[in-house]
Structures are given as C-alpha cells and as structure tokens.
Structure 1
Amino acid sequence: MNYTIIKDTQTLAQVCEKARLADVIMLDTEFVRTRTYHPQLGLIQLFDGEQLVLIDPLEIDDMDAFSELLKDQSVMKILHACGEDLEVFQHSFGCIPNPMIDTQLMAAFLGHGLSTGFASLVNEYLSVELDKSESRADWLARPLTDKQLDYAAADVYYLLPLYQQLLAKVEDKGWLTAVQQESNLLISKRLKTSDPELAYLDIKGAWTLDPEQLAILKVIAKWRLLEAQKRDLALNFVVKEANVLEICRLKMASLKQMNEAGFDHREIRRHGNTLIEMVKQGLDTPQSEWPDKITRLMDNPAYKQLFKRLKDEVKTVSETTGLATEFLASKKQLNQFITWVWMRNRSEEKLPDVMRDWRKNILGDVLNGKMD
C-alpha cells in the first residue's frame, strides 16, 4: 500500500485533475470534534484506483481543485458511513461529494445492520483485519505518525475492492437505484440547516414545560445555537442543556438561583446575566405568541397499540426482503410516519421517509393501509 502525502496547492491540483478522469473515487476524512460546533478537518484520503493520496488541509492554502473534484458530476464518490464526513466537506469547502454512494448503505441492502462498521465489512468480504486503534487519534496534531498515516490510507485502499464486491451484489439483487435514493436521503438529512427559531424543539425534556416556560426556552435556545455557531463551540459548552431546561422550569431571575442549582461557576460568570435577561424577555412575550405545549405521540392512548401493529408489519417485510428492521423503518421513522398521519393529514409536501422512494412500494403503502 503505497501512498503520497500532499502538502502544496500545485500537487493537489495535479492529483485532482487526474482523479477527475476516473469513473469512481474513494474518499474519507479524519477530523476532530470534541468541544467545537463544527468538525475540524485534519486529513483527507483519496484513492482513484491508481493514486492513493493523503491530503493535508492544514498545510494547503488553496483547496479549490479539491472542491471542484467534489462537485464534478462525472465522478462517483464512494464513502463509508459518511454522515459526519458530509458535514466536514460542507463546512470546510461549502460543498459536498456529488454524486455519492455510501457503502454502509449498500451493505444494509444486502441484509447487514445499518450501523455495520467498515472494518467488519472488510474482514467479511476481503478477509483483511484492519487495525482501528488510531480512530480516536488527534488528527490536528502535527506531525502525524506513520501509524496514523497507514491507518488513514487503509480506509480508502480497501474501500475500492469492498465497493466493487458490494456493487456486484447490490446490482444482482436489483437494489442499485434504491442505494442511490438512500444516499441522497442521507445527504438531505445531514445537511439540513438548523432553524434558530425552532431550536427549542431539540431540547430534551422540552415537552415537560408549559407554554410560558416554552416562551423562555425559545429565546434561550435560539441564543444558545447562534452563540455556538458564532464561537464554533459545542452547544453544551455554551450552556449545558440540563441547565437551560432548569432555568426555564424555575424562571430563574438571579445568579443566586443558578448557584444554588449547582451550575458551573464559569457558566454563570460568562452567561448568567445574559440568561436572566432572556428569562425576562421570555416572560414579556405576549401570551398569544407563546409556543404550543409540546405533545408526545406516546401520550396518545392509541399510540402504543398502533406502534406495535406497525412494527409487526415492518418485521414481516423484513422477513420477505431480507432487510434489517431498523433499516426498513427505525423507531424515529415510524414516529415520523404516525405524526404525518395524525397531525399533518397525510400532507404530500411533508412525506415521511417510509412514503418516499424505495420504501413506499415495499413498506409505506402497507403501513398507510393499517392507519384507516
């Protein structure tokens, strides 16, 4: 396994120009995401069947040639479990690999669990044991060790033969179009931008608050999201989610209350007065503008029995298709479907996953029939 490390703009341009002549290329990234809102890119791996390169984005000033490769419609990009990689590309280059196929999704169409790891598939299909000990390494530190570089290169070197085997099997079973549809669905989900006005709905436990408390939460959650994005800081490093909920529940009006609740002193010192002002702002919100009380599906008396009935249908389809139940329809996707029927009157503009693309014919129409 021979690879080249790319550290300058000119060599990168030459590599990308050659890669754009290939039908498919293998891509992967190494990044760090501990305290930051956005993933911090440390390394890019690229393999086009001939040239295997490790691109160092910390050394290269102009990455335009790589961005153009990502956007080149004539080159299919292959990645594995690429959800976070898509975020990395979008944040770092303002674009994503397109067109793209995820080999983890290909494996799911062959009966593997949705979260089957790369090393497990390489072992099963290529009989190669990969060393994954560097997966938690610091990819922003320099110099990178030989062990890190070998680990990173292997991720795209073995991705090519794995993809080729999976492709043959997926085509044989007639799932290739579905694989592309599912890859596109993954893209649309991972790149959906967060609406600050709706950030309060993402706070766990928001359903426990009454409308007045939700008015406070809406103000604080919006500020917290914008602050995290501005400072590139993970949300809980701005203000812990549990603390946000407690502030709203008690309508905290003093730093003393925050101290007594056991909040981190640094959090109080940095944001305490701001949070108190936002509590006041929330309390000043006219009642007509308070958010509606959040209702949970599980609080509906009919929910438990309905969910079980739908789950049984998913299991039946799983047995006939060979696809894992959680891949056909996860709990979240079933709840999305129930919400679509109960609260959105089966809106054609807001179709749930099970009523779109490949899932509709083999599962969605069956589930829809069980709702009448």
Structure 2
Amino acid sequence: MSNIPYTLITRDKELNDLCARLATSEAFAFDTEFVGEDQYEPEICLVQVATDDECALIDPQSGVDLTDFWQLIGDAELCKIVHAGSEDIAICRRLGRCDPRNVFDLQIAAGMVGLGYPASLAKLAKAVVGVTMHKSQTLTNWRKRPLTAEQLDYAAVDVAYLPRMHATIRQRLRSRKREEWAVEESQRMCANAVRIVEPDDQRRRLKGAGSLSRRELAVVDALLAERDAIARERNRPPRTVLKDFLVIELARRGWTEPSKLATLRGMSLPQALLRRLGSAIERARSAPPESHPPALPSREHSEEEEIILSLLTGILRDHCRQNALAYSLLATRNDLKDYARSVINGSGSDPVVLRSGWRHQAVGKLLDAVLSGRSAVRIRQENGQFHVHIE
C-alpha cells in the first residue's frame, strides 16, 4: 500500500471543482488507464491527475462528464505533464475530441539530461526523486468495478510524483540550455499521436509492402479499408480481423474466391466476410493503372551509403555519450539513412530530421564539418576509455 493521499472523483460537481482548481495551476500531471486490446475504440477506465498540492482519480465509468477536463487538456496556457504520453494523448484526441496543447513528456526530457531513453517511470522516479515504485497492477482489469484499494493506490502512484520530477528535470534542462528541445520534441510527439494515418503511412508500416507492385499496393489499400470497416462494425481491433501478413499475402496472390482465401494459414473469417474481402480485391485489381498508388521508395542502401551510415553512427553515439544525450532519442537508423542520402544526392524535397530543429542544433554542425572534410575524426584513449575526437 502507498501513502499517497488521493480523492476519487465520481460526481460531476466533484469533477467541476477539481477542474476549477487545475485551471488556476501553472501545470498538472495526468495519466490514463484504458483497455483497447479487445475492441475498436479504446475504453477509458480511469484518469489520474496530480499537482504539487493534490492527487485525484477520475472514474469515467461512473458517468461523470469529462468535457471540462478535455478543455483543460487543450488549454495552451496550462502545462500538462506526462510520462511516455503518446497513447494518453491519442486517447484525449479520440475520446475527448480535443487537440492536446502545451504537453511536456518527462520520458523525452529525461533523454536530454543523461537519464536515458526510453526510461521507465519506475527508473526515473528512483533516479530523480528517490522513490521506489512497484508495478504490481500492470495487467489488472481496469473495467471491473468497484476498483480495489490496490488498484487505486497503483493509479495514484503512477501520477503523484510527476510534478516533482518535472521540476527537477526541467531545471536540469535549463542548466544545459535544452528546455526548448524538450518542448519541441514533446510537441512532435503530440502531433504524431493525433495525426490521422493516411494510406501511404499504413502501407509503409506493413512488412513486405516495399516489394509489391503498384497494382498489388492498390489491393493492400482496398484490404486495409475493408478490414477497418469490418472492425468498426464488429467493435474489434483491425489486426484481429485480418493480420498484416495476410494483407500482404492476399495482395501478392490476387485471389478473389472465398474458398481460396479460406485456405490461408491464420484466416478464420466466415464466408460472408471472405466474400467482402474477395470483392475488395477484385475492385482494386480492376481499377485503371493510373489510379494505383505509387511504388514505395526503396529502403535499400548502397555500399557508399552503408559506409557513411556506419561512420555517422559511431560519431553520434560517442557524441551523445559525452554530452548526456540519448542516442536513441536523437536519431533512428532511417533518419541516418535519410541524412546520408541528402549528403550524397543533395537535400531533395523530403524533410531530413537531422537538418532541422533541436537535432540540428545538437549535432548539425558536427555532422556537416565531418562530412564536408573541414574536420577530422580521431580515436583517442583517455582515462582507460576510447573517445572519438573531432578536430
């Protein structure tokens, strides 16, 4: 049991009074507990909020009207503190129909002050405020009522320490002149969390889609649209209706007969739904070629690109190690590929993340100096450790 005092909110007046107090604060932390693995739309089961002065647990299952709370999430004047908040932000957008503003993600900020990324809440709480957290309710059933004392204690602990952690981490950011970096990256996280996924994005996320023809990609689009429609009708997550690998396999084979579709391993849909998939495939295959989506850009890279990629990786990893910056937050392998290609082939029209924003401030001059030949890379041993030196 924790010793965190909290208030359980189950009535509209209680929630309205809480929102009025939150509106006068400079910042508050929030978290959500939801269930989304067995239905189309996630079901929000609990909302936790905390300031320096109080902790409250809002129970949406009690029927309280969350409108005032959603408005606070969209208030640009109020700082909202989260930890690994992309799913919470997506929930706010989908269920609250609000655009979250002025959100500060502690997991992101921690990666900019030498605390690693992505660091768990338990790890950060121990490192920043010296609190040991026990994650005993990770797989608990948040739908079931009444919630137990153990569940409520767990939920309170998840949010109660965030304001203190925010104050400490923000001070460390300021001492390194990186607060704007954390704000920028938190905004980017929010934008990605609420962004409507376009067909192009869906295609890119499917393993194996890069090898498909334009006609086959048209089938992929048709299957994804039909899968989503079936999932919505049946209130099921789309991937439980039709697995991603089956979307790719059906696009390659081009089958339309339900009897053939049923022979694929992992296919368990009834005949009526198989006929719908077959019809979707037939429509896509019959569409004129000019309507087919463009081929996906190749992610393969040349030997020249591989050499530059390896060089950049080593330089950036060591630079991050020496400057209390998480390499995993700075750049993905694809980010480095895009940068390498921009050096070899020119900038082009597509944005290169390492050439803009806080990432460019952090390493832009370093990379440009090395790849332009203005600086040399040397390996030196200091105090028993090897370091990369740029001269």
Task: Verify same fold: TM over 0.5.
Answer: yes
| Distance change >3 Å, CA 287–CA 75, structure 1 → 2 | closer
Deviations 1:127-180 (A, max 9, x none): 221110102212122111110000000112111222222122221121111111
Match of 1:92 among 71, 90, 95: 95
Structure 2 counterpart of 1:23, from 26, 45, 48:
26
Alignment equivalent of 1:3, drawn from 1, 6, 9: 6
Displacement after TM superposition at 1:102 (Å): 0.8
- 1:101 and 1:198, CA in 2 relative to 1: closer, same or farther beyond 3 A? closer
Q: Which residue of 1 aligns with 2:264?
A: 261
Cα deviation for residue 199 of structure 1 reads: 3.1
* Matching of residues 157-196 of structure 1 within 5 Å: 157-196=160-199
| Structure 2 partner of 1:244 | 247
- Relative to structure 2, which stretch is displaced further, 24-33 or 310-319? 310-319
Aligned to 2:309: 307
Q: CA deviation at 1:219?
A: 1.8
- The CA deviation at 1:240 is 1.3
Greater mean alpha carbon deviation, residues 227-236 or residues 29-38 = 227-236
Give the Cα separation in 1 of the matches to 2:340 and 2:271. 44
Aligned match of 1:359 = 359
TM-superposed deviation, 1:366: 4.2
Q: What is residue 275 of structure 2 aligned with on the other side?
A: 273
| Separation in structure 1 between the aligned mates of residue 283 and residue 296 of structure 2, nearest angstrom | 21
The code of the aligned residue for 1:63 comes to L
Report if aligned partners of 2:227, 2:242 keep a CA contact under 8 Å in 1.
Answer: yes
Supply the distance in 1 between the matched residues of 2:273 and 2:43 (Cα, whole angstroms).
25
Equivalent residue letter for 1:307 = L
- CA deviations 1:66-90 (Å, max 9, x no partner) are 1222223332111111011101111
CA distance in structure 1 between the partners assigned to 2:125 and 2:279 by the alignment: 55
Partner of 2:74: 71
Count of aligned pairs between the two proteins? 369
Matches within 5 A, 1:135-146: 135-146=138-149
Q: Is residue 43–residue 56 contact of structure 1 (8 Å, CA) maintained in 2?
A: yes
TM-score calculated relative to the size of structure 2: 0.86
Distance 1:146 1:206, change over 3 A: same
Note if 1:56 corresponds to 2:59. yes
**1:218 offset after TM fit, Å?**
2.3
Q: Deviations over 1:233-271 (max 9, x none)?
A: 322122111111111111112222223223433x14342
Compute the displacement of 1:306 (Å).
Answer: 2.9
Offset of residue 211 of structure 1: 2.6
Q: Deviations over 1:212-244 (max 9, x none)?
A: 322222221233245445655322122111111
Q: How does 1:338-357 map to 2 (within 5 A)?
A: 338=340, 345-347=347-349, 350-357=350-357
One-letter code of the match for 2:146?
P
SS in 1 for 2:62: coil
Q: Alpha carbons of 1:92 and 1:340: their partners in 2 closer, same or farther (altered >3 Å)?
A: farther
Question: Which letter maps to 1:174?
Answer: K
Counterpart Cα distance in 1 of 2:183 and 2:196: 22
* Aligned partners of 2:108 and 2:329 also within 8 Å: no
SS in 1 for 2:47: strand
CA distance in 2, matches of 1:344, 1:32: 46
Q: Does the residue aligned with 2:262 lie in a helix, a strand or coil?
A: helix
Tell me if structure 1 keeps the 8 A contact 2:93–2:100. no
Q: Following the alignment from structure 2 to structure 1, what is the Cα–Cα distance between the partners of residues 244 and 92? A: 27
Q: Sequence identity of aligned pairs in percent?
A: 24
* Residue in 2 that maps onto 1:318: 320
1:221 partnered with 2:221 = no
Task: After TM superposition, give the deviation of residue 288 of structure 1 in Å.
Answer: 2.9
Instruction: Determine helix, strand or coil for the equivalent of 1:14.
Output: helix
Matched ranges for 1:120-131 at <5 A: 120-131=123-134
1:27 Cα deviation (Å)?
Answer: 0.9
Q: Which residue of 1 aligns with 2:105?
A: 102
Task: Output the amino acid matched with 1:356.
Answer: S
1:199 aligns with 2:202: yes
Equivalent residue, structure 1, for 2:385: none
Alignment of 1:210 with 2:220, yes or no, is no
2:336 to 334, 337, 348: 334
Report the more deviating stretch, 137-146 or 219-228. Answer: 219-228
Unaligned runs of 5+ in 1: none
Moved more, 25-34 or 61-70: 61-70
Q: How many Å separate the matches in 2 of 1:198 and 1:315?
A: 29
